[in-house]
């Protein structure tokens, strides 16, 4: 344990109102901590720059999953376990459930939150490709009020987000419009459980009359941010995928990604496997098989 | 030896002796203990691979008077961790030879203040060029150890190697590499030390070999043997990683305790343990083999090199075992085996389950598949034609005197794994689709106990004590760290004395209370020490019979009365037995020839893999492990050893890669040094054959390390069978298979490129 | 550059440990693992990695499995905690403990407390788990000794014992 608890303030406001007021009082000085599965790892290693922490774990306003006719609102404080247990999420957003089941082991799923995964903004985070593919929206809250932004506009650069220093993620909205869609989620980690993704994919699409009617391809760990392959999606719309040469598909993938070498994997491996995963998704999309 | 067929306790899966404490959380590991006035100790370590220490700076914002500070100057005896040579300093003095070398020790009552002080010591160096690999060490551009960077060499010669090439139908060459591996015991290294002028030094710790620590402390502190006491606490896994390293940590804690006059606890956290302590020796093996047209090995040359790191430690012994095992379970009419252990500027490598054999047996078993391809026969057939048979001699010209039948083992393993049917169906399935399936075999042997004259040199002693309450206590320095030492030695004593298992306990290994039964290594505990326990138990019985208190047959109650009576009468009732070398076991240390081990265990393992081509990942779908082990003394423990060893070896094969950066382990955290979880391991099916062993307790052979030798080559053989891609290095991660499929040379040497790293 | 030299103050945190209400005076960012081991002398939870990877620090908090090395003690206030020491009752081993003993589920024992508590949570959610469910339920608990096979057997055996109680 390489940090001294005596050097850290941790407060636990009783309401969301109090929490955002604290953030506003000294913007950037207070680091929110929910389940702690990211923050406490840095802390234990003596690598946590923040010295003032505000616990948002027990804020009721951040919990709960609420179903509306057109969307489901997932409280940012929902844990991966909460996600896995919820019948509507399992039915309509299976890629969120598989992402949750791939995150850590059971103990970390019981504590880690969806909001934390988003706010930590690692390009390797498990839930983020699925949220991109589902076109999620985030509800951000502060003393100045609340705003909704499209999740695809949230990540601006490596660990840099569109959130202001005094904001918290309050909820994640996912639109209920994917019935009949084919989904394809894969996480390639160093092992089957408790692994950071070397590369991950969340693919979602629908065919109509033999051509692609809608397609979303989201990848993790191939860029400084989780990435939708927007250019490739635009090219694929209206096409009969089976008529496209595999090498063209790979080239489209390669044009949009910029994988690096790091302690987990190499750039070449990531690049080739990314291409393979996208090709496999499109093959399944065109044959109508779902696979999460 | 008693008639094994009629044993009641030996051969049964009796309750683990210390099991109840383990499942209730009452078992006491070293970090669970505190002593009054105890301080916490920590280590300031070097940050470069090689250089001269110019200055040690203690930052002014810390009040250093609060701290105990120890450097090499404080060492009363010799500044070394005595093991085989005395070349490894306890604390660096003037220069460093590997990253993370210990330089300054600090202690404080507050763990957090201690850590801040460690970070407040900075060291200035004059950096020197460092060697990072075997190849760099051999190139001799820098001399970092001795005259030529070489800790040790061995040469084994048999037959006439010059004459084999001319008549060979095939000459098959191959080069094979294995990487470092971290033992990754779940309990990190830890020691508590106390020192006072009257009693001397006391050490409590997580360790395998109390008497190794005892010997090293005597030299470091210039103390006589009665002034050093070493006690083993419950130990949370070891695998060789706590064979020699604890002496270093004990020295550190002891120095702080001596200087402060207070007990000192030093527990590594995971990051420190991984970066600073020993790992498995990386290796390179070159084979050049002359083969006849019908696939018989005529002979060959084997060159085996291991990377020992910066100091000699145990490298000569690892090298020895590897050298002797390099020919595998095959008949070599002629062979020349040249081996060496070389120095690099990395933290010294050390003991890890298998101890040189996993390295060279990986090479041998990959090479057998290559020979099969060159000759044009199957992997099974090439082995059949070359297996050692009783009456033939090994590479060290040891006559195979036991009744081993390797072909029988092979046939049984093939049947158990459904090998032939699967090979046929995979060949058809692999023609299409993106999943390729394959089968791989490894046949191997493992000599248990110390090599050659090693056991004679150890001169082990075991004791069995009769207590005043009529119970019996086993007295050995052999330690429990999960493998079942406590349980099996008590089984043996109970069986021998024909008293209930619950009437036998085992003393905590404490050098003031137990004799030196040798280190808990080399798969020797059940076989060698167990036999001594058996003898000592017989001695106790004979004493009671001789005193007229017991007949030749007796009930448990009669034993209890007799034992209690005599123990009370005499004050102490201890029976000791000393190791005696089996007759006819002769080893020539000069020529490296003769009976290397009293006996070998034999095995054939079969792996079934599925390679997912789009992601280059390897799934092991079935694993059959068949081994001949003499006699199974405890079925649950024996199976547990085999499965656990196979799991570690699967890690060695496809998961566990040490990412080196200038001699330092970069991925020194559990999040990025990858060992298998419960979701990763295949069904592992374990089968035993029992041909007996006259040299081992109740016919047992050592089995702890055997399972480490086979899985890696079996798996990589299976991957080649599945994909046609030849990988000759472990660990083989998906990135490595990917690189090999693209035809990259030296794919295994491609570390993580330093540019572009976060 | 050192961070500003502010110091936190200790606070009173109260929780229920193994059925008993306890209060400790601790820094709010003290790790629950350290509070258990050092303030409450409950050394059954172990530190294997300090980063939530090995599961040897796992305990049950309000009935769910968490890695105590990742929980700031302030967040444990008002919760009900069960450690390995609280599992056996009336001198009798819990069926899971007995099963681990009988099936070889504990070798060196260091992962065992966390592994047993993970089994408690698993069997609560899935009283008759398949092998795959057992694998998944224990995937956050690393064992270096057993290779997991005998642990799986212990879990299946425990499931039977509990079902037939």
Which CATH number do you get for residue C57?
3.10.20.30
Residue C2 lies in a domain: no
pLDDT above 50 for B754: no
pLDDT grade for A289, boundaries at 50, 70 and 90: low
Residue A187 lies in a domain: yes
**Average pLDDT taken over every residue of chain A:** 96
Mean pLDDT of B150-178: 97
Percent of chain A with pLDDT over 90: 96
Mean pLDDT of C21-46: 98
Measure in Å the smallest separation between the Cα of A2 and chain B Cα atoms: 6
Measure in Å the smallest separation between the Cα of A29 and chain C Cα atoms: 12
Place of tokens 């500044």: B79
Q: Which residues pair with B697 in a beta bridge?
A: none
Mean pLDDT of B302-328: 98
Measure in Å the smallest separation between the Cα of B680 and chain A Cα atoms: 6
Residue C27 and residue A1: Cβ atoms within 8 Å? no
Residue B15 and residue C101: Cβ atoms within 8 Å? yes
Residue C64 and residue A7: Cβ atoms within 8 Å? no
Backbone angles phi, psi at A94, to 5 degrees: -60, -25
Question: Which one of C63, C86, C109 terminates a domain?
Answer: C86
Verdict on whether the full-model pTM lies above 0.90 = yes
Q: Cβ(B676)–Cβ(B648) under 8 Å?
A: no
Calculated CA dihedral for residues B672, B677, B680, B682, nearest 10 degrees: 140
Residue C67 lies in a domain: yes
Residue A41 and residue C67: Cβ atoms within 8 Å? no
Mean pLDDT of B521-536: 97
Counting every residue written for chain B, the total comes to 758
Count of Cβ atoms closer than 10 Å to residue A94 Cβ: 17
pLDDT above 90 for B757: no
On whether both A161 and A115 belong to a single domain, the answer is yes
pLDDT of residue B279: 98
On whether both C64 and C124 belong to a single domain, the answer is no
Chains contacting A (3+ CB pairs below 8 angstroms):
B, C
DSSP output for B331-355: --SEEEEEEEEE--SSSPP---TTT
On whether both C108 and C149 belong to a single domain, the answer is yes
Helix-strand-coil split of chain B, %, nearest 5:
30, 25, 45
On whether both A107 and A187 belong to a single domain, the answer is no
Residue A226 lies in a domain: yes
pLDDT of residue C89: 82
Closest chain A residue to B659, measured at CA? A263
**What's the Cα-to-Cα distance from B90 to each of B101, B149, B222, B257, rounded to whole Å?**
9, 21, 14, 15
pLDDT above 80 for A258: yes
pLDDT above 60 for B130: yes
Question: What CATH code is carried by the domain that includes residue A12?
Answer: 3.30.43
Q: Which of residues 258-287 of B touch C (CB under 8 A)?
A: 269-270
On whether both C38 and C64 belong to a single domain, the answer is yes
pLDDT of residue B582: 85
Interface residue C101 vs chain A (CB under 8 A): no
Closest chain C residue to B487, measured at CA? C107
**Helix B419-429 vs helix B406-416: angle between axes, to the nearest 10 degrees?**
50
On whether both A49 and A79 belong to a single domain, the answer is no
On whether both C82 and C100 belong to a single domain, the answer is no
Residue C6 lies in a domain: no
Residue A219 lies in a domain: yes
pLDDT above 70 for B24: yes
Q: Which positions in chain C touch A58 (Cβ < 8 Å)?
A: 75
Residue C70 and residue A105: Cβ atoms within 8 Å? no
Q: To 5 degrees, how large is the angle CA C86–CA C87–CA C89?
A: 90
On whether both C60 and C34 belong to a single domain, the answer is yes
Mean pLDDT of A72-90: 98
Question: What CATH code is carried by the domain that includes residue A105?
Answer: 3.30.465.10
Alpha helices in B326-446 (DSSP H): 357-375, 379-384, 406-416, 419-429
On whether both A149 and A197 belong to a single domain, the answer is no
pLDDT above 80 for C4: no
pLDDT of residue C91: 83
Question: Which one of C86, C117, C146 terminates a domain?
Answer: C86
Residue C51 and residue B669: Cβ atoms within 8 Å? yes
Mean pLDDT of B649-659: 97
On whether both C32 and C78 belong to a single domain, the answer is yes
Counting every residue written for chain C, the total comes to 165
Q: Which of residues 24-53 of A touch B (CB under 8 A)?
A: 41, 45-46
d(CA A291, CA A94): 9
Residue-wise pLDDT tens digits, B63-92: 999 999 999 999 999 999 999 999 999 999
Quick one: tokens of B679? 């979701």
State the ipTM, two decimals.
Answer: 0.97
On whether both A35 and A20 belong to a single domain, the answer is yes
d(CA B641, CA B706): 9
DSSP output for B529-542: IHHHHHHHHHHHHH
Q: Which positions in chain B touch A2 (Cβ < 8 Å)?
A: 115, 269
Residue A292 lies in a domain: no
Closest chain B residue to C2, measured at CA? B61
pLDDT of residue B749: 47
Count of Cβ atoms closer than 10 Å to residue A257 Cβ: 20
Count of Cβ atoms closer than 10 Å to residue B391 Cβ: 8
pLDDT of residue B453: 86
pLDDT of residue C6: 67
On whether both C26 and C59 belong to a single domain, the answer is yes
Instruction: Report which of A152, A161, A120, A153 is spatially closest to residue A133, judged by C-alpha positions.
Output: A152
Closest chain B residue to C99, measured at CA? B23
On whether both C53 and C110 belong to a single domain, the answer is no
**What's the Cα-to-Cα distance from A207 to each of A215, A230, A231, A241, rounded to whole Å?**
9, 18, 18, 10
Quick one: tokens of A72? 């489901």
Q: Omega into A126 within 30° of 0, i.e. cis?
A: no
Question: Which one of A175, A197, A215 terminates a domain?
Answer: A175
Chains contacting C (3+ CB pairs below 8 angstroms):
A, B
Percent of chain B with pLDDT over 90: 95
Q: How many domains does chain C have?
A: 2
Buried b (16+ CB within 10 A) or exposed e, B531-552: bbbbbbbbbbbebbeeeebbee
Residue C5 lies in a domain: no
Percent of chain B with pLDDT over 70: 97
Place of tokens 């105990």: B68
Residue C144 lies in a domain: yes
pLDDT of residue B753: 32
Q: Cβ(B412)–Cβ(B686) under 8 Å?
A: no
Residue B32 and residue C43: Cβ atoms within 8 Å? yes
Residue C3 lies in a domain: no
- Residue among C6, C27, C69 minimizing CB distance to A5: C27
pLDDT of residue A291: 54
Residue B643 and residue C149: Cβ atoms within 8 Å? yes
pLDDT of residue B413: 98
Question: Which one of A175, A208, A235 terminates a domain?
Answer: A175
d(CA B503, CA B9): 12
Alpha helices in C4-163 (DSSP H): 32-34, 73-76, 95-103, 112-125, 131-137, 149-163
Alpha helices in B299-404 (DSSP H): 315-325, 357-375, 379-384
pLDDT of residue C90: 82
d(CA B663, CA B180): 12
Comparing B403 with B749, the larger pLDDT belongs to B403
Q: How many domains does chain A have?
A: 3
- Which residues, other chains included, contact B317 with Cβ-Cβ below 8 Å and sequence gap of 6+? B84, B355, B356, B451
d(CA B549, CA B8): 24
Three-state secondary structure along A129-173?
Answer: HHHHHCCCEEEEEECCEEEEEEHHHCEEECCEECCCCCCEEEEEE
Count of Cβ atoms closer than 10 Å to residue B489 Cβ: 30
Residue B115 and residue A46: Cβ atoms within 8 Å? yes
d(CA B514, CA B462): 8
**Average pLDDT taken over every residue of chain B:** 96
Domain that holds residue C134: 95-163
On whether both C63 and C25 belong to a single domain, the answer is yes
pLDDT above 50 for C138: yes
On whether both A109 and A144 belong to a single domain, the answer is yes
pLDDT of residue B641: 98
Question: What CATH code is carried by the domain that includes residue C159?
Answer: 1.10.150.120
**What's the Cα-to-Cα distance from C87 to each of B361, C108, C114, C120, C139, rounded to whole Å?**
45, 20, 12, 9, 21
On whether both C81 and C101 belong to a single domain, the answer is no
Residue C65 lies in a domain: yes
Q: Which residues pair with B608 in a beta bridge?
A: B439, B622
Question: Which one of C86, C119, C152 terminates a domain?
Answer: C86
Q: Cβ(B42)–Cβ(B115) under 8 Å?
A: yes
pLDDT above 50 for B751: no
Interface residue A245 vs chain B (CB under 8 A): no
On whether both C74 and C28 belong to a single domain, the answer is yes
Q: Omega into B731 within 30° of 0, i.e. cis?
A: yes
The CB-side HSE value for B110 (13 A sphere, CA atoms) comes to: 10
Comparing B758 with C91, the larger pLDDT belongs to C91
Residue A218 lies in a domain: yes
Residue-wise pLDDT tens digits, A201-220: 999 999 999 999 999 999 99
DSSP output for B645-680: HHHHHHHHHHT----EETTEES--STTTS----TTT
Quick one: tokens of B533? 């326990």
On whether both C99 and C60 belong to a single domain, the answer is no
Place of tokens 């070293």: B30
Question: What CATH code is carried by the domain that includes residue A209?
Answer: 3.30.390.50
Quick one: tokens of C63? 């009935």
Residue A133 lies in a domain: yes
Domain that holds residue A146: 62-175
Interface residue A194 vs chain B (CB under 8 A): yes
Measure in Å the smallest separation between the Cα of C78 and chain B Cα atoms: 24
Comparing B332 with B453, the larger pLDDT belongs to B332
On whether both A239 and A258 belong to a single domain, the answer is yes
> Three-state DSSP class for B602?
strand
Q: Which of residues 28-67 of B touch C (CB under 8 A)?
A: 28-29, 31-32, 61
Q: Which positions in chain A touch C14 (Cβ < 8 Å)?
A: none
Place of tokens 């642990």: C151
Quick one: tokens of A185? 């989620």
Residue A191 and residue B679: Cβ atoms within 8 Å? yes
Question: Which one of A175, A190, A225 terminates a domain?
Answer: A175
d(CA A216, CA A194): 27
pLDDT of residue B743: 84
Residue C149 and residue B637: Cβ atoms within 8 Å? no
Place of tokens 């398949």: C130
Q: Which positions in chain B touch C110 (Cβ < 8 Å)?
A: 29, 185-187, 236-237
Q: Which positions in chain B touch C113 (Cβ < 8 Å)?
A: 25
Place of tokens 């006072």: B196
d(CA B138, CA B303): 13
Residue C4 lies in a domain: no
Mean pLDDT of B211-215: 98
Interface probe, candidates B31, B733, B747, chain A, greatest A C-beta count within 10 A: B733
Place of tokens 């949750």: A100
Measure in Å the smallest separation between the Cα of A161 and chain B Cα atoms: 19
pLDDT above 80 for A33: yes
């Amino acid at each position: 344990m390489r940090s001294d608890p005596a050097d850290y303030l941790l407060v636990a406001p009783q309401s969301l109102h109090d929490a955002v007021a604290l953030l506003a009082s000294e913007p950037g000085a207070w680091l929110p901590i929910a389940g702690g599965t990211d923050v406490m790892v840095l802390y234990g290693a003596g690598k946590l720059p923040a010295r003032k922490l505000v616990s948002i774990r027990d804020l009721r306003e951040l919990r709960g999953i609420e179903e509306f006719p057109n969307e489901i609102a997932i409280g940012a404080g929902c844990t991966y376990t909460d996600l896995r247990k919820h019948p509507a999420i399992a039915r309509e957003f299976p890629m969120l459930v598989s992402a949750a089941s791939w995150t850590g082991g059971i103990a970390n799923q019981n504590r880690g939150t969806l909001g934390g995964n988003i706010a930590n903004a690692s390009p390797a985070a498990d839930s983020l490709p699925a949220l991109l593919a589902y076109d999620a929206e985030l509800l951000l809250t502060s003393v100045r009020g609340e705003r909704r932004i499209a999740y695809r506009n949230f990540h601006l650069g490596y660990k840099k987000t569109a959130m202001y220093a005094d904001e918290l993620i309050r909820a994640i909205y996912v639109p209920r419009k994917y019935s009949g869609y084919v989904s394809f989620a894969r996480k390639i980690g160093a092992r089957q459980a408790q692994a950071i993704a070397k590369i991950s994919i969340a693919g979602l699409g629908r065919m109509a009359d033999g051509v692609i009617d809608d397609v979303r391809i989201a990848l993790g760990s191939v860029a400084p941010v989780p990435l939708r392959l927007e250019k490739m999606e635009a090219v694929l719309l209206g096409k009969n995928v089976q008529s496209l040469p595999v090498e063209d598909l790979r080239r489209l993938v390669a044009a949009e990604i910029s994988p690096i070498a790091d302690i987990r994997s190499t750039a070449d491996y990531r690049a080739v496997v990314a291409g393979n995963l996208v090709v496999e998704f499109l093959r399944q999309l065109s044959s109508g098989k779902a696979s999460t | 030896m008693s008639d094994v067929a009629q044993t009641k306790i030996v051969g049964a899966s009796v309750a683990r002796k210390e099991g109840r404490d383990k499942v209730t959380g009452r078992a006491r590991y070293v970090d669970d203990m505190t002593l009054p006035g105890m301080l916490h100790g920590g280590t300031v370590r070097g940050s470069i691979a090689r250089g001269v220490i110019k200055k040690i700076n203690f930052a002014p914002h810390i009040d250093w008077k609060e701290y105990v500070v120890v450097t090499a100057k404080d060492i009363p005896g010799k500044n070394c961790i005595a093991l085989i040579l005395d070349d490894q300093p306890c604390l660096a003095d003037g220069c460093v030879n590997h990253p993370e070398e210990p330089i300054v020790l600090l202690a404080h009552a507050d763990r957090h203040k201690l850590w801040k002080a460690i970070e407040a010591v900075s060291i200035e160096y004059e950096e020197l060029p460092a060697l990072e690999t075997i190849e760099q060490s051999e190139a001799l551009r820098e001399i970092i150890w001795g005259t030529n960077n070489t800790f040790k060499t061995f040469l084994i010669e048999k037959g006439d190697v010059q004459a084999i090439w001319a008549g060979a139908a095939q000459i098959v060459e191959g080069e094979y590499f294995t990487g470092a591996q971290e033992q990754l015991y779940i309990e990190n290294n830890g020691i508590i030390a106390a020192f006072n002028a009257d009693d001397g030094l006391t050490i409590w710790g997580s360790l395998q070999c109390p008497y190794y620590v005892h010997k090293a402390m005597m030299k470091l502190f210039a103390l006589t043997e009665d002034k050093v006491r070493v006690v083993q606490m419950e130990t949370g896994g070891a695998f060789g990683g706590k064979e020699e390293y604890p002496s270093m940590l004990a020295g550190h804690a002891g120095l702080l305790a001596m200087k402060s006059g207070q007990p000192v606890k030093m527990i590594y956290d995971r990051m420190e343990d991984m970066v600073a302590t020993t790992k498995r020796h990386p290796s390179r093996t070159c084979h050049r083999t002359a083969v006849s047209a019908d696939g018989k090995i005529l002979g060959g040359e084997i060159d085996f090199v291991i990377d020992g790191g910066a100091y000699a430690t145990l490298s000569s012994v690892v090298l020895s075992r590897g050298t002797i095992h390099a020919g595998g379970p095959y008949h070599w009419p002629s062979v020349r085996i040249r081996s060496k252990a070389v120095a690099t500027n990395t933290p010294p490598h050390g003991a890890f389950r298998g101890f040189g054999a996993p390295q060279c047996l990986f090479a041998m078993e990959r090479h057998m598949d290559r020979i099969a391809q060159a000759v044009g026969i199957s992997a099974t057939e090439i082995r059949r034609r070359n297996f050692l048979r009783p009456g033939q001699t090994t590479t060290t010209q040891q006559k195979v005197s036991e009744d081993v039948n390797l072909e029988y083992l092979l046939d049984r393993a093939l049947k158990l794994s459904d090998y032939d049917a699967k090979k046929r169906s995979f060949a058809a399935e692999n023609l299409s689709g993106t999943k390729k399936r394959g089968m791989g075999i490894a046949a191997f042997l493992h000599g248990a106990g110390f090599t050659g004259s090693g056991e004679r040199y150890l001169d082990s002693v075991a004791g069995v004590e009769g207590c005043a309450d009529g119970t019996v206590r086993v007295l050995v320095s052999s330690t429990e760290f999960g493998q079942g030492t406590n349980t099996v030695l008590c089984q043996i004593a109970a069986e021998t004395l024909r008293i209930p298992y619950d009437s036998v306990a085992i003393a905590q290994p404490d050098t003031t209370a137990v004799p030196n039964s040798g280190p808990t290594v080399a798969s020797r505990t059940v076989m060698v020490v167990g036999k001594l326990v058996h003898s000592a138990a017989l001695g106790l019985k004979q004493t009671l019979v001789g005193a007229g208190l017991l007949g030749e047959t007796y009930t448990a109650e009669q034993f209890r009365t007799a034992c209690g009576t005599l123990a009370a009468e005499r004050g102490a009732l201890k029976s000791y037995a000393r190791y005696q070398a089996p007759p006819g076991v002769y080893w020539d240390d000069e020529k490296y020839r003769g009976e290397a081990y009293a006996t070998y265990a034999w095995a054939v393992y079969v792996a079934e893999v599925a390679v997912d081509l789009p992601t280059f990942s390897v799934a092991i779908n079935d694993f059959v492990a068949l081994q001949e082990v003499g006699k199974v003394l405890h079925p649950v423990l024996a199976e547990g050893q085999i499965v656990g060893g196979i799991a570690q070896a699967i890690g060695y094969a496809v998961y566990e890669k040490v990412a080196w950066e200038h001699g330092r382990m970069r991925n020194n955290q559990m999040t990025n040094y990858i060992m298998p979880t419960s979701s990763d391991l295949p069904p592992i099916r374990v089968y035993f054959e029992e041909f007996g062993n006259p040299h081992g307790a109740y016919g047992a052979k050592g089995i702890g390390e055997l399972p480490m030798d086979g899985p890696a080559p079996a798996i990589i053989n299976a991957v080649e069978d599945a994909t046609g891609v030849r990988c000759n290095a472990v660990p083989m991660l998906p990135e490595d298979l990917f690189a090999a499929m693209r035809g990259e040379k030296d794919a295994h040497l491609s570390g993580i490129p330093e540019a572009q790293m976060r | 550059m050192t961070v500003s030299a502010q110091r936190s103050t200790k606070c009173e945190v109260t929780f229920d440990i193994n059925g008993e209400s306890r209060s400790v005076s601790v820094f709010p960012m003290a790790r629950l693992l350290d509070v258990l081991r050092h303030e409450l002398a409950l050394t059954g939870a172990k530190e294997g990695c300090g980063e939530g990877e090995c599961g040897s620090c796992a305990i049950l908090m309000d009935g769910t499995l968490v890695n105590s090395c990742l929980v700031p003690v302030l967040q444990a206030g008002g919760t009900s905690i069960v450690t390995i020491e609280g599992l056996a009752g009336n001198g009798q081993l819990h069926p899971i403990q007995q099963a681990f003993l009988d099936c070889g589920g504990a070798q060196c024992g260091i992962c065992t407390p966390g592994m047993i508590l993970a089994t408690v949570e698993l069997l609560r959610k899935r009283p008759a788990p398949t092998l795959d469910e057992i694998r998944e339920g224990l995937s956050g608990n690393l064992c270096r000794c057993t290779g997991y096979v005998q642990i799986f057997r212990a879990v299946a055996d425990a499931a039977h014992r509990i079902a037939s109680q």
